Chains A and B, each alone.
Chain A
Amino acid sequence: AQSVTQPDIHITVSEGASLELRCNYSYGATPYLFWYVQSPGQGLQLLLKYFSGDTLVQGIKGFEAEFKRSQSSFNLRKPSVHWSDAAEYFCAVVPSGGYNKLIFGAGTRLAVHP
């Protein structure tokens, strides 16, 4: 079945530490890929997106993500986490030919320790 998997439900890191959030998808063709962030009580904000081209994409707030076709992955990274990064992060895909319906993963909740 077509799906988006975020294997980590909760992650806790110390402020200043590096971060990697995992995302895997199972679609036949390369979909369009997104990472969104949801701060407490807020809607979702787009961090970055991948459609084609360079497989390392830069986003807002110092985030980047790397698309790896061989692993069907689109992991989100940040070299040094700030306390304000505590939020829930969602990976999403638009399947090839999927009009523009986003399919979301279950989300990863990030906690940041001082």
Chain B
Amino acid sequence: DVKVTQSSRYLVKRTGEKVFLECVQDMDHENMFWYRQDPGLGLRLIYFSYDVKMKEKGDIPEGYSVSREKKERFSLILESASTNQTSMYLCASSFGPSYEQYFGPGTRLTVT
């Protein structure tokens, strides 16, 4: 079974802090994604990566950056956390030409 793990299930940070969310997949997938999930809005794509050191902006990249130094790991970075970044963050991965994405359990981030 594909396994996508996220470093924390719950995280509380203060406004202005730098926040790192880590995602690891164990299936050698080329593609990795970061989404945020908010009630009534579904999931919105923040960034995705189709190869090591490659990244593309999604629909809502403002206030976020990403890093992919190794194929299995994709990090989401909040350079200076703000209260409007309080949300559920979901990581996903997929194999090359496949459109099926496998999701991690999510990190619920609260910024106070």
Which residues 6-61 in B have Cβ within 8 Å of A in the complex?
A: 31, 33, 35, 40-45, 48, 50, 58
| Chain A residues within an 8 Å CB radius of B50 | 99
CB-CB nearest in chain B for A36? B103
Q: What CA separation (Å) do A51 and B97 show in the bound complex?
A: 13
Residue-wise interface mask of B (88-106) relative to A, using a CB-CB cutoff of 8 A (1 in contact, 0 not) = 0010101001111111111
Contacts A44-B103, A100-B94 given; does A107 touch B31 at CB 8 Å: no
| Chain B residues within an 8 Å CB radius of A90 | 42-43
Q: What CA separation (Å) do A9 and B39 show in the bound complex?
A: 10
Contacts A105-B42, A106-B42 given; does A46 touch B106 at CB 8 Å: no
Q: Would you call B4 an interface residue if the criterion is a C-beta within 8 Å of the partner chain's C-beta atoms?
A: yes
| Chain B residues within an 8 Å CB radius of A27 | none
Q: What CA separation (Å) do A49 and B99 show in the bound complex?
A: 9
Q: What CA separation (Å) do A41 and B10 show in the bound complex?
A: 11
- Option from A9, A45, A94 in Cβ contact (under 8 Å) with B99: A94
Which residues 70-96 in B have Cβ within 8 Å of A in the complex?
A: 90, 92, 94
- Nearest Cβ distance between residue B85 and chain A, in whole angstroms? 19
Q: Would you call A69 an interface residue if the criterion is a C-beta within 8 Å of the partner chain's C-beta atoms?
A: no
Can you list 22 A-B contacts (CB < 8 A)? A4-B42, A34-B100, A42-B106, A43-B90, A43-B103, A43-B104, A43-B105, A44-B43, A44-B90, A44-B101, A46-B100, A46-B101, A49-B100, A51-B99, A90-B43, A94-B99, A100-B94, A102-B45, A102-B101, A106-B40, A106-B42, A107-B42
- Which residues of A are interface residues toward B (Cβ below 8 A)? 4, 9, 32, 34, 36, 41-46, 49, 51, 90, 92, 94, 99-102, 104-107
